[in-house]
Amino acid sequence: MRNFVSLIFLLLFICIQNTNAQYQFRTVKKIDCTEVKSQDRTGTCWSFATASFIESELMRMGSGPLDLSEMFVVRNIYMNKAQNYVLRQGKANFSQGSLSHDLIRIADQFGVVPESVYSGKHSAEAKHNHSEMEAGLKGFLDGVIKGKSISDKWPVAMSRILDVYLGEAPSTFNVNGKEFNPKSYANELGFNAENYVSLSSFTHHPFYDSFILEIPDNYSNGSFYNLPISELMEVIDHAIDKGYSIAWDGDVSEKGFSAKDGIAVLPSDVSRENLFQMPGPELKVTQENRQRNFESYSTTDDHLMHLMGTAEDLKGNQYYMIKNSWGEISEYKGFLYMSKRYAQMKTVAIMLHKEAIPDNIRKKLKL
């Protein structure tokens, strides 16, 4: 009998230990954000992530939840990229990808519109798919460039192609009985592009200076302030603690990243069978191995998402709460938990409100 009771206690202990080892998360801090959306078959994660970030910013500043059109900005980016591509005689990147600062720049230049005004789809049931459109646009531009001289007609033709695939962009629209154009609507919302800065952390440029980040999607040559990785992580933690969310740019092509499981970790053993079932040891991250990963293409600019909270698992390991743009997948309905180690290694850049940066770091950056 005594042995039987001992066996029962042993089994209970094992069960409790296994339960405690499972991925279960406790929210530490969560920033208000809008519903998860899907970019579908497009490379426009940058617009979805940054639009979500701006929607949270507007909520933080007192506006109710808003649904901004990602595709209005995307359309303007295609036109902007086309001009860059033609002027550089085809020796530039023309693709679906861009970065957070591009949405900020375009919103400042052209304004924003609600999703209800411009969805970039021809019906409510349709899904975004830019594959054919991108191929057609690039083919058209390559044909333009091959000409001996270039007329002023190609921008109009480019715009017409975008009209066919995305719909005509609105010049004016009504919201709550008031008429706006895209610029006046952005002003009404209190959007100010000067409030937002981009940060990164790489040693091939001096720290505390700005530099042009050498990644393919930085077609507009946007500048990033360079910080040691310890201070970049300090910025992220400080921002979330103070109620500011972050537009996150990084690498998701890792064996430790699983959107369908809602987990991103940096395991010391990537072959571990229960990688997405329970926490385990993670790699130590240094400035040096971050740099090696970037320069060897092990860390690439794959995806942008919206970082909007912090959490911890039952073992006390720290995570960031991330809103993705691949629809309501996983048990977390389109959100995922990224370990702090993963973020340390695989963050390429972030964008946030400059007031979210700790004062001591802002002084170093002269912001």
In angstroms, the Cα distances linking 23 to 78, 85, 331, 339 are 41, 47, 12, 12
Beta strand 303-313 pairing with 318-323: antiparallel
In angstroms, the Cα distances linking 216 to 74, 154, 221 are 17, 25, 10
Helix (H, G, I), strand (E, B) or coil at 38: strand
Q: Which residue has the tokens 């992530």?
A: 49
Rg (alpha carbons) of the chain, rounded to whole number:
23
Torsion, Cα of 269, 274, 278, 281 (10° steps): -10
* Alpha-carbon span 277 to 177, nearest angstrom: 51
Which domains does the chain possess? Answer: 24-365 (3.90.70.10)
pLDDT at 20 over 70: no
pLDDT confidence tier of residue 7, bands split at 50, 70 and 90: very low
Tokens of 36: 């998860």
Kind plus residue range of the DSSP H or E element containing 174 = strand 173-175
Q: What is the pLDDT of residue 18?
A: 45
Q: What is the pLDDT of residue 124?
A: 80
What number of other Cβ atoms are within 10 A of residue 338's Cβ?
Answer: 27
Please state which of the ranges 15-29, 41-55, 138-152 shows the lowest mean pLDDT.
15-29
Mean pLDDT estimate for the chain: 94
- pLDDT tens digits along 214-236: 999 999 999 999 999 999 999 99
In angstroms, the Cα distances linking 359 to 83, 263, 366 are 39, 32, 10
Q: What is the pLDDT of residue 191?
A: 92
User: How many H-runs (helices) and E-runs (strands) does the chain carry?
Assistant: 11, 13
Eight-state DSSP code of residue 106: H
Q: What is the pLDDT of residue 21?
A: 56
Q: Where are the alpha helices (DSSP H) in the chain?
A: 2-21, 45-60, 70-87, 100-110, 131-146, 154-166, 182-189, 229-241, 287-295, 340-346, 359-365
- pLDDT tens digits along 72-128: 999 999 999 999 999 999 999 999 999 999 999 999 999 999 999 999 998 888 899
Percentage, residues of the chain above pLDDT 70: 94
Amino acid symbol at 63: S
pTM: 0.93
* Alpha-carbon span 68 to 323, nearest angstrom: 16
Q: Taking Cα atoms as reference points, which of 220, 224, 120, 112 lies closest to residue 164?
A: 120
Q: What is the pLDDT of residue 312?
A: 97
Amino acid symbol at 229: I
Q: What is the pLDDT of residue 236?
A: 98
Instruction: Mark residue 175 as left, alpha or beta (left: phi above 0; alpha: psi -120 to 50; beta: remaining).
Output: beta
Average pLDDT of span 32-54 = 98
Side-chain-facing half-sphere of 22: CA atoms under 13 Å: 7
Kind plus residue range of the DSSP H or E element containing 246 = strand 246-250
Return the bridge partners of 93, or none: none
- pLDDT tens digits along 262-321: 999 999 999 999 999 999 999 999 999 999 999 999 999 999 999 999 999 999 999 999
* Alpha-carbon span 284 to 227, nearest angstrom: 19
Phi, psi of 172 (to 5 degrees): -140, 160
How buried is 43 (Cβ within 10 angstroms: 0-12 exposed, 13-18 middle, 19+ buried)? middle
* Alpha-carbon span 275 to 263, nearest angstrom: 9
* Alpha-carbon span 80 to 93, nearest angstrom: 12
Helix (H, G, I), strand (E, B) or coil at 258: strand
Average pLDDT of span 155-177 = 96
* Alpha-carbon span 306 to 248, nearest angstrom: 6
Beta strand 223-226 pairing with 196-200: parallel
Kind plus residue range of the DSSP H or E element containing 348 = strand 347-353
- pLDDT tens digits along 245-257: 999 999 999 999 9
| Contact yes or no for 355/64 (Cβ under 8 A) | no
- pLDDT tens digits along 181-223: 999 999 999 999 999 999 999 999 999 999 999 999 999 999 9
